[in-house]
Amino acid sequence: MLRLVTIPISHYCEKARWALDRAGVVYREERHIQGVHQIVARRAGGGRTVPVLVTPDQVLAESADILVWADERTPPDERLFPEEPEARAEVEALCVRFDEVLGPSGRRLMYVLMLPERELMLSFNNAGVPRWEDRFIRVAWPVITKFAARELGIKPGIEREDEGIVWREFDFVAELLSDGRRYLCGERFSAADLTFASLAGPAVVPPEYAVELPQPDVLPSVAKALVERARDHPAGRHALKLFRDHRAPRRPESGPARDRGRRRPRRAGRDSSPSPAGGTPRARPDPRA
């Protein structure tokens, strides 16, 4: 069976899962916590980031490559990339933009806001990971937060810059949709839509995400306001509709390891450290993952 190495809450991993699930590909998801994922990714034949898809013939270590691979195994009339070169180039250009701009900023913003909320984050972050990893991250939380800050380039005030980038990308998408088109590249669901919706996940926390993201009612007030603003934005509404209409449930054979030790979230007590982020199963190194 194919193996997909992931961090459960990663929006780049959600992009890969969505593509594989949509194509009806059977795979086993192997979920790992931050830090450990680098070791497993390398052992699987990838780099330092996830998702990594291991097939009998090759190892794909970029979510964009996994998306293309899965699409090639989809019936021609349901494919996400158009055959016509100019139309395909338009879709690919949007995918690259979201991968390189929205994805990294949205992810770092989520981590900046989430890391101070230890119990809330751990209640979702570890869904489906091995028990020893769940125990390790709880004990080594101060070390993990320093690791995350270093890896993501977190510094004072970076969240304001990242939030500005997220809203600019949302405004860009809203402008594309303002002429009445159903999807980003016209009247057909494409890889650009799937990529945007996946990478908008931390801001809109869609209920259909493959892991259970904390909804606004359990988030601190600042995070709640951020999610509600994103959901009310035309681009956020588009992302949520894409999840509702196109996020196919995964094949039963494709489930991850058992969801061990997941704890129900408690309402956060501080208003200063929100976060749209998540974790339970459904079933590139991106500059990003």
| Domain map (residue ranges) of the chain | 2-254
CATH superfamily, with its number, for domain 2-254: Glutaredoxin (3.40.30.10)
Q: What's the mean per-residue pLDDT of the chain?
A: 88
**Whether residue 181 has pLDDT greater than 60:** yes
Q: Do the strands 59-60 and 52-54 form a parallel or antiparallel pair, or are they unpaired?
A: antiparallel
pLDDT range class, residue 118, cuts 50, 70, 90: very high
Tell me the one-letter amino acid at 132: W
Q: Decide: 220 and 117 in contact? Cβ < 8 Å.
A: yes
The alpha-helical segments, DSSP class H, found in 73-207 are 85-97, 103-114, 118-125, 131-139, 141-152, 158-177, 191-199, 201-204
Q: Give CB contacts under 8 A, 24+ apart, made by 150-156.
A: 152/107, 152/108, 152/111, 153/108, 154/108, 154/111, 154/112
> Tens of pLDDT along 84-117?
999 999 999 999 999 999 999 999 998 998 898 9
pLDDT at 114: 83
pLDDT range class, residue 267, cuts 50, 70, 90: very low
Does the global pTM surpass 0.75? yes
**Whether residue 279 has pLDDT greater than 70:** no
Please, what is the end-to-end C-alpha distance for the chain in angstroms? Answer: 23
